[in-house]
Chain A
């Protein structure tokens, strides 16, 4: 059973989110923190979504990724490890080449890749990673965060945990580690890299 933890502040925002992402979460159990109004209750029943309210679930190390309803979206917040960030400041590489099948990039710092990662290609990176086009190959990232959009064929591993691709399709997503848990936040606004 997959569990989706949601914080409920604003009814409208909540309904809005599930209207958009219903397909992703229709088989999840929703663990809701906050007050469930009649309105929401009716909405969830209508959609046949199962849910529990204000219950603290035991947290396993390698739980399925938890998806948060982003309150402020688009611009990723600064990651709360400023020291590491400073060390890596001069260590950013920007590449706009296609990573082809059989190619392997081993990178110790951060990488901004402005092209595709094809099926059969792999990137191993110690720092943070942003890929602006679709990823179909393998990614191993040990940074504070990564931002990417991946095809179902891709193999994405973040801090030795395999990230389920279903959460990474369609849009650009931000993947990060918080309290030993992988958190995936969809970047909801269309990102135009121009």
Chain B
């Protein structure tokens, strides 16, 4: 049985879908069979970020309703043979989901893949609750700012009370990703420091991702940033993927400013 991981954040726009795409591809590049599922019914985005926009024929709602076979709806990625994708329905809305259908779907997926990654919708409504319902683990994506932290805190609270694993007396393993860290703003105190975020949320950190302008272009092109070896964000996603696959890598401190020539010159005038 594969591991089911839900990628959640509470707040929208913090980088859930980008994280799902990059980590999914990262795990696949580590040699594990991985499927990413877009649970954002009615507002699908993951297909574009993975560059599979034009390949979507069937979606997960059709699979759940038995209209098509799972095999027909799964789309193989061009970037790795180990990565497959299941699209959300763009025309239906979240009310079509129910627990039994979701359980059948994720069970079937976890038989075929080592990792099943679910991209949750923003917010904490039923769409979110269904995404976390059968998850074994959760990746919580936050930005270093207060509203993102509070929303994530709320999402974790719901995860800890509504997931099936918790109802069965277990515990959903949680990992924190701090996304879009701007080293300069952290140093000047405008952005929350990682230690403060960890104190508030009290869950283990699996990686920090620096702000990277290349991500927008990467998303537009449908080529996840993890493929770009020169990008700091790409490298951060590679490290997180490796950690999820069981490798132990030290945490890189992305909040430290690179001491380039310019900052040295500026330093002289301080």
Question: Chain A residues in contact with chain B, CB under 8 A?
Answer: 98, 100-103, 116, 118-120, 136
CB <8 Å contact, A102 and B157: yes
B100 CB to closest chain A CB, in angstroms? Answer: 27
Q: Which A residues are in CB contact (< 8 Å) with B158?
A: 102
Q: Which B residues are in CB contact (< 8 Å) with A116?
A: 199-200, 202
Question: Chain B residues in contact with chain A, CB under 8 A?
Answer: 146, 149-151, 153-154, 156-158, 160, 199-200, 202
- The residue that A101 contacts in the complex, of B157, B160, B199, B202, with Cβ under 8 A, is B157
CB <8 Å contact, A119 and B157: no
Q: Which A residues are in CB contact (< 8 Å) with B156?
A: 100
A120-B157 Cα distance, complex, nearest whole Å: 11
B124 CB to closest chain A CB, in angstroms? Answer: 8
- The residue that A119 contacts in the complex, of B153, B160, B199, B202, with Cβ under 8 A, is B153
CB <8 Å contact, B154 and A100: yes
Chain B binding surface SS class? helix
CB <8 Å contact, B202 and A98: yes
A112-B42 Cα distance, complex, nearest whole Å: 45
Q: Which B residues are in CB contact (< 8 Å) with A120?
A: 150, 153-154
A102-B157 Cα distance, complex, nearest whole Å: 8
Q: Which B residues are in CB contact (< 8 Å) with A118?
A: 150, 153, 200
Given A98-B202, A116-B199, A116-B200, A103–B146 Cβ distance below 8 Å?
no
CB <8 Å contact, B153 and A100: yes
A95 CB to closest chain B CB, in angstroms? Answer: 14
A102-B158 Cα distance, complex, nearest whole Å: 9
CB <8 Å contact, A102 and B154: yes
CB <8 Å contact, A100 and B199: no
Q: Which B residues are in CB contact (< 8 Å) with A98?
A: 202
24 pairs from A and B in contact (CB 8 Å cutoff): A98-B202, A100-B154, A100-B156, A100-B157, A100-B160, A101-B150, A101-B151, A101-B153, A101-B154, A101-B157, A102-B153, A102-B154, A102-B157, A102-B158, A103-B157, A116-B199, A116-B202, A118-B200, A119-B146, A119-B149, A119-B150, A120-B150, A120-B153, A136-B200
Q: Which A residues are in CB contact (< 8 Å) with B202?
A: 98, 116
Q: Which B residues are in CB contact (< 8 Å) with A101?
A: 150-151, 153-154, 157
A119-B146 Cα distance, complex, nearest whole Å: 9
Among B157, B199, B202, the most chain A Cβ lie within 10 Å of the Cβ of B157
Q: Which B residues are in CB contact (< 8 Å) with A103?
A: 157
Among B150, B158, B199, the most chain A Cβ lie within 10 Å of the Cβ of B150
The chain A residue sitting closest to B203, CB to CB, is A98
Q: Which B residues are in CB contact (< 8 Å) with A119?
A: 146, 149-150, 153, 200
B144 CB to closest chain A CB, in angstroms? Answer: 15
A181-B81 Cα distance, complex, nearest whole Å: 71
A117 CB to closest chain B CB, in angstroms? Answer: 11
A48-B156 Cα distance, complex, nearest whole Å: 50
Q: Which B residues are in CB contact (< 8 Å) with A102?
A: 153-154, 157-158
Q: Which A residues are in CB contact (< 8 Å) with B199?
A: 116
A120-B152 Cα distance, complex, nearest whole Å: 11
A98 CB to closest chain B CB, in angstroms? Answer: 5
B182 CB to closest chain A CB, in angstroms? Answer: 22
A170 CB to closest chain B CB, in angstroms? Answer: 16
A68 CB to closest chain B CB, in angstroms? Answer: 32
A102-B151 Cα distance, complex, nearest whole Å: 9
Q: Which B residues are in CB contact (< 8 Å) with A136?
A: 200
A100-B203 Cα distance, complex, nearest whole Å: 12
A145-B114 Cα distance, complex, nearest whole Å: 54
The chain B residue sitting closest to A103, CB to CB, is B157
